[in-house]
């Protein structure tokens, strides 16, 4: 009887640990999604007002958006901003223009 009780207790602890790991993983994914969306917002606020996007910014936006949208199920405003970025004319980095920070 004690062995069964001990086994049941061990199984309950394992399930509890598993649930805690899943909860933390979910929180990490939410945090990464937030950071990726912040990157899209940063590029949007930088590129749209100046009226163009550089090749490096476009490639970075595409990578960030792919992870944000496909892997983390981001959508909505991030998609709108990404599409606006992709619609901008592509220009080489101009001398004296802002950096890609």
Span 8-39, pLDDT tens digits: 878 888 888 888 999 999 999 889 888 999 99
Q: How far apart are CA 56 and CA 60, in angstroms?
A: 6
Q: Which residues pair with 90 in a beta bridge?
A: 53
What are the φ/ψ torsions at residue 35 (nearest 5 degrees)? -65, -45
pTM of the shown model? 0.74
**Residue-range domain boundaries for the chain:** 2-87
What is the predicted pLDDT for the residue at 98?
53
More confident residue, 4 or 23: 23
Let me know the angle formed at the C-alpha of 39 by 76 and 49, rounded to the nearest 5 degrees.
85
Q: How far apart are CA 27 and CA 83, in angstroms?
A: 27
What is the predicted pLDDT for the residue at 86?
97
């Amino acid at each position: 009887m004690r062995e069964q009780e001990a086994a049941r207790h061990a199984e309950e602890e394992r399930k509890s640990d598993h649930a805690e790991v899943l909860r933390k993983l979910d929180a990490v994914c939410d945090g990464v999604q937030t950071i990726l969306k912040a990157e899209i917002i940063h590029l949007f606020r930088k590129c749209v007002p100046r009226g163009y996007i550089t090749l490096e910014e476009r490639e970075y936006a595409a990578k960030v958006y792919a992870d944000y949208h496909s892997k983390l199920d981001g959508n909505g405003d991030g998609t709108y901003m990404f599409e606006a970025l992709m619609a901008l004319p592509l220009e080489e980095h101009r001398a004296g223009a802002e950096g890609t920070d």
